[in-house]
A and B are shown apart, each in its own frame.
Chain A
Amino acid sequence: MASSPASGSRLWETDPILTVEHLFMRFGGLVAVNDLSFNVGRGDITALIGPNGAGKTTVFNCITGFYKPSAGRLALAHRRAATPAEIDAATAIGERSLATGDAAVYLLERLPDYRVSGEAKVARTFQNIRLFTGMTVLENLMVAQHNALMRASGYSLRGLFGLPSWGRAARAATEKATFWLDKVGLLERADDPAGDLPYGAQRRLEIARAMCSDPILLCLDEPAAGLNPRESLELNTLLRSIRADHGTSILLIEHDMSVVMEISDHVVVLDYGTKISDGTPEAVKSDPRVIAAYLGVDEDAVEEAGAEIEEIVQTGAAS
């Protein structure tokens, strides 16, 4: 971990919502994620950064259940941080989740993808936007409330006969969708097809859609990609307000350092599937390993290191 003096409260150590332990992901001979461990603090905005191909999106896919990790444990704690004993208990009994009075632990690596979002309440967006382009903006947000509406419609039976309880639930869902549309500034375009929106608006809509599923952890895969500086600024405001008003923790992958350094409380840096730094933005910014990974190391440094190793080997052989 990056050596940095404790700056304020470090929620990811005191109150983690997500604990990633010894995560491995192998594709044949390629090790995309290699023994990765980190925590995501409850109510934090955590950034996962790293050069291209570092394995960031693979980590996301493991967390959200789209990939089954080769090894490792991903424990998500609802309401309060889970104690190691609770996590171990859940692991030992072989269940996917364990509810204990005031808290619940979900072992994400055991959940299929739709239950990660539906039950464990981890929502995500995609690097290449995945909206339902042929459906309207409003419909996109209604689909996001599928599970709640399915229950309200009595698995379609109550809805088929148009009972009043279903009508109320449908109106409440529309109101929630309207609230989020207003929040991301798309209320005027509610009845337009999602595919007709400009790129920046599609990104915002995808975030609003994810938020309509009431997540406790929101995973954003490059939310600022393709946005102009003004839109990036608006995104920062939106993410901050999501955290402040809804208590949703945010984990994001981002290349835009103006976004990362501006809004994140905690930064985790990956390179070649391994964590090379972890800490506050200030600490990470000045970490020589991060600078080396991003900017590369000059040749002198490589030669120096090589000479050092040789020296060690020789002294080892001599003694």
Chain B
Amino acid sequence: MAAQIAEPAAGGTGAPARADSFGPALKDALIAGLVTLGLLGPLVGFHAVVKDEGMNGQAALGLDYRPGLVAIMVGIVFAGRLLLNLTVWSPNRVVATRSGPTVFDRIGTTLGPAIKPALLAFAVGFPFLAAFLMGGLNESRYLVDVGILILTYVMLGWGLNIVVGLAGLLDLGYVAFYAVGAYTYALLATSAPINDFFAGLLGATFWANWAFWICLPLAGVFAGLWGMILGFPVLRLRGDYLAIVTLAFGEIIRLVLINWVDFTGGGAGIASIPRATFFGIPFNASEDGFAARFGLDFNPMHRIVFLYFVILALALVTAFATVRLRKLPVGRAWEALREDEIACRSLGINTTNVKLSAFATGAMFGGFAGCFFAVRAGFVSPESFTFDISAMILAIVVLGGMGSQIGVAVAAAVMMGGMELLRNLGFLSNVFGPGFDPTQYRMLLFGLAMVAIMVWKPRGLVSTREPTIFLKERKAVSGDLVKEGHG
């Protein structure tokens, strides 16, 4: 986008103007460099290290100085700022006045119909593609795990999208429902009385093999109920107040999980949760196992690939249900509530029910995802359900464009995939010296990327709204007209 705007400046008028504006541009870049020096001096320049002083053979904490690294970073900021001042931010630059759709929108409309099937085909073929590219099932484990992680967040994003994107209710405690779903499965699946009950009725291994498939709907139902329980006290709250109460709700659930040791196992969590089965057939090396039944060589990756398809199916169910619900009166009422609550009430819409249904539906999908999380990890503890997760899911929804399905999916892939990618930036040590550890800067780079997206696309990656019904022609509604909700 920057390159596109810069194009006219590179034309004829640019050359003489550049000489005039060089002085101020240099000054500005110098100031930016000094600010960076001031900020990064203490942050990056000092480095706490364990020094072996040799006194009594004990290690002591010492300070290390990294002036070289600071110099490189300040240099990058200075050069970058100068470059931007001379090109994009140049005062003499003729700004290309844009009317009508941007380049993104044009790409969107041309590729629009093809994007969804293409992404779907890619998602379905991904484990095989990964195995092919990495040269074997076992070698593709990392990629498939990343795929599962991304899809989990796609699903969570789509679930929260109902509450935040469609109904316009800012929910900062979404992780609570994720936790409710995970603990529902963990507690039910490891429950001895239930196991004994089914052992007497349907065989010793019945509950271990079927627990996931029976608990999956239950997890959704319980999480949905908790969504309504949260919904009731916050019905009258709006905006900031709603956000604070939902935030507190998320924390309360986590603290209850930590402190109710008898029931939840406390901070130690619940371990050895039964693994997922292929509809009752366990993934193990036994004769009754998946590999033996289907005439395959036993490979632990079968279970991982199967988990990938389970979360893909769950995510697609979420997407399908959301698309469907948007076209039903309840979905339209969610969006109408986001647009204008008072007008809703003047049309006979019971806004209490609308809010509760939005909370419950969003929470239900969070519960499904939580159940999946528990069966994938085989272990749950309150540590997995911190506010960070809520913030991450909300960031995915906001970056994707509130209310947009495809935007949320892309944002989840970019954010979760990007976070993983940042673990593999070893080559950066070529720039910053051998002592540089890129994983330490993961969150910094991540934050920068978010700021950049919000500056360029303030309404998210997909800022237009698809109408749910049309008479003659489906026209996307510009993001400027769509309200963000207030409560």
Which A residues are within 8 Å of any B CB, using their own CB? Answer: 64, 66, 113-115, 117-119, 123-124, 126, 130-136, 138-139, 142-147, 149-150, 153, 155-156, 159-160, 162, 174, 178, 187, 190-193, 195-196, 209-210, 213
A169 to chain B, nearest CB (A): 10
Q: List 22 A-B contacts (CB under 8 A).
A: A115-B348, A117-B345, A117-B348, A126-B346, A131-B339, A131-B340, A131-B343, A134-B465, A134-B483, A135-B335, A135-B339, A136-B477, A143-B336, A143-B344, A146-B347, A147-B349, A153-B330, A156-B328, A159-B328, A174-B471, A191-B475, A210-B346
Q: How far is the CA of A130 from the CA of B336 in the complex (A)?
A: 11
B470 in contact with A160 (CB, 8 Å): no
Contacts of A174 in B (CB 8 A): 469, 471
Question: Does B473 touch A at the CB level, under 8 Å?
Answer: yes
Contacts of B349 in A (CB 8 A): 114, 118, 143, 146-147
Contacts of B470 in A (CB 8 A): 136, 138, 190-191
Q: How far is the CA of A220 from the CA of B286 in the complex (A)?
A: 75
- Which bucket holds chain B's interface residue count? 35 or more
B320-354 vs A, CB cutoff 8 Å, 1 = contact: the mask equals 01001101111011011011101111111111000
A132 in contact with B329 (CB, 8 Å): no
Which of A115, A130, A187, A192 lies in contact with B342, CB distance below 8 A?
A130
B339 in contact with A132 (CB, 8 Å): yes
Contacts of B477 in A (CB 8 A): 134-136, 193
Which of B324, B330, B336 lies in contact with A132, CB distance below 8 A?
B336
B340 in contact with A130 (CB, 8 Å): yes
Most buried by A among B321, B328, B332, B349: B328
6 more contacts with CB within 8 A, not counting A66-B342, A126-B342, A139-B467, are: A119-B348, A132-B339, A134-B482, A136-B475, A160-B325, A191-B472
Contacts of A126 in B (CB 8 A): 342-343, 346
Question: Does B468 touch A at the CB level, under 8 Å?
Answer: yes
A156 in contact with B342 (CB, 8 Å): no
Contacts of A190 in B (CB 8 A): 470-472
B2-43 vs A, CB cutoff 8 Å, 1 = contact: the mask equals 000000000000000000000000000000000000000000
B351's nearest neighbour on chain A, judged by CB, is A114
Contacts of B328 in A (CB 8 A): 149, 153, 156, 159-160
Question: Does B98 touch A at the CB level, under 8 Å?
Answer: no
A217 to chain B, nearest CB (A): 13
Q: How far is the CA of A79 from the CA of B456 in the complex (A)?
A: 58
Q: How far is the CA of A144 from the CA of B348 in the complex (A)?
A: 8
Known A-B contacts A131-B343, A135-B336; the reply to A118 vs B474 at CB < 8 A is no
List B342-372 residues whose CB lies under 8 Å from chain A.
342-351
Q: How far is the CA of A23 from the CA of B355 in the complex (A)?
A: 32
The 4 closest A-B pairs by CB, nearest first: A118-B348, A134-B482, A132-B339, A195-B481
B350's nearest neighbour on chain A, judged by CB, is A114
B333 in contact with A159 (CB, 8 Å): no
Q: How far is the CA of A209 from the CA of B348 in the complex (A)?
A: 12
Contacts of A187 in B (CB 8 A): 471
Q: How far is the CA of A88 from the CA of B467 in the complex (A)?
A: 48
Question: Does B478 touch A at the CB level, under 8 Å?
Answer: yes
Q: How far is the CA of A134 from the CA of B483 in the complex (A)?
A: 6
B346 in contact with A139 (CB, 8 Å): no
Contacts of B330 in A (CB 8 A): 150, 153, 155-156
Q: How far is the CA of A134 from the CA of B469 in the complex (A)?
A: 13
Contacts of A196 in B (CB 8 A): 481
List B445-487 residues whose CB lies under 8 Å from chain A.
465, 467-475, 477-478, 481-483
Contacts of B475 in A (CB 8 A): 136, 191-193
Known A-B contacts A134-B465, A135-B335, A139-B468; the reply to A160 vs B347 at CB < 8 A is no
Most buried by A among B343, B348, B472, B475: B348
B324 in contact with A159 (CB, 8 Å): yes
B186 to chain A, nearest CB (A): 29
A124 in contact with B346 (CB, 8 Å): yes
Known A-B contacts A146-B333, A160-B324, A193-B481; the reply to A138 vs B469 at CB < 8 A is yes
Known A-B contacts A134-B339, A134-B483, A159-B328; the reply to A114 vs B345 at CB < 8 A is yes
Contacts of B471 in A (CB 8 A): 138, 174, 178, 187, 190-191
A143 in contact with B469 (CB, 8 Å): no
Contacts of B325 in A (CB 8 A): 156, 160
Contacts of B483 in A (CB 8 A): 133-134
Q: How far is the CA of A132 from the CA of B329 in the complex (A)?
A: 15
Contacts of A156 in B (CB 8 A): 325, 328-330
A152's nearest neighbour on chain B, judged by CB, is B329
A136 in contact with B467 (CB, 8 Å): yes
Contacts of A139 in B (CB 8 A): 332, 335, 467-469
Q: How far is the CA of A209 from the CA of B475 in the complex (A)?
A: 20
Known A-B contacts A130-B340, A143-B336; the reply to A64 vs B346 at CB < 8 A is yes
Most buried by B among A114, A118, A124: A114
Which of A119, A123, A159, A192 lies in contact with B347, CB distance below 8 A?
A123
Contacts of B336 in A (CB 8 A): 132, 135, 143, 146
Contacts of B327 in A (CB 8 A): 159
B7 to chain A, nearest CB (A): 31
A132 in contact with B335 (CB, 8 Å): yes
Q: How far is the CA of A159 from the CA of B332 in the complex (A)?
A: 13
Contacts of B335 in A (CB 8 A): 132, 134-135, 139
A143 in contact with B345 (CB, 8 Å): no
Q: How far is the CA of A131 from the CA of B343 in the complex (A)?
A: 7
B350 to chain A, nearest CB (A): 5
Most buried by A among B329, B473, B477: B329
Q: How far is the CA of A138 from the CA of B473 in the complex (A)?
A: 12
Q: How far is the CA of A174 from the CA of B332 in the complex (A)?
A: 14
B340's nearest neighbour on chain A, judged by CB, is A130
Contacts of B351 in A (CB 8 A): 114
Contacts of B339 in A (CB 8 A): 131-135
Q: How far is the CA of A155 from the CA of B330 in the complex (A)?
A: 8
Q: How far is the CA of A132 from the CA of B472 in the complex (A)?
A: 20
B458 to chain A, nearest CB (A): 16
Contacts of A138 in B (CB 8 A): 467, 469-471
B465 in contact with A130 (CB, 8 Å): no
Q: How far is the CA of A178 from the CA of B474 in the complex (A)?
A: 16
A113 to chain B, nearest CB (A): 5
Contacts of A149 in B (CB 8 A): 328-329
B482's nearest neighbour on chain A, judged by CB, is A134
Contacts of A146 in B (CB 8 A): 329, 332-333, 336, 347-349
Contacts of B329 in A (CB 8 A): 142-143, 145-146, 149-150, 153, 156, 159
Q: How far is the CA of A265 from the CA of B117 in the complex (A)?
A: 61
B481 in contact with A213 (CB, 8 Å): no
B338's nearest neighbour on chain A, judged by CB, is A134
Contacts of B473 in A (CB 8 A): 191
A130 in contact with B474 (CB, 8 Å): no
B474 in contact with A191 (CB, 8 Å): yes
Q: How far is the CA of A119 from the CA of B347 in the complex (A)?
A: 10
Known A-B contacts A135-B467, A136-B475, A146-B332; the reply to A209 vs B342 at CB < 8 A is no
Which of B321, B346, B472, B481 lies in contact with A134, CB distance below 8 A?
B481
B484's nearest neighbour on chain A, judged by CB, is A134
A117 in contact with B347 (CB, 8 Å): yes
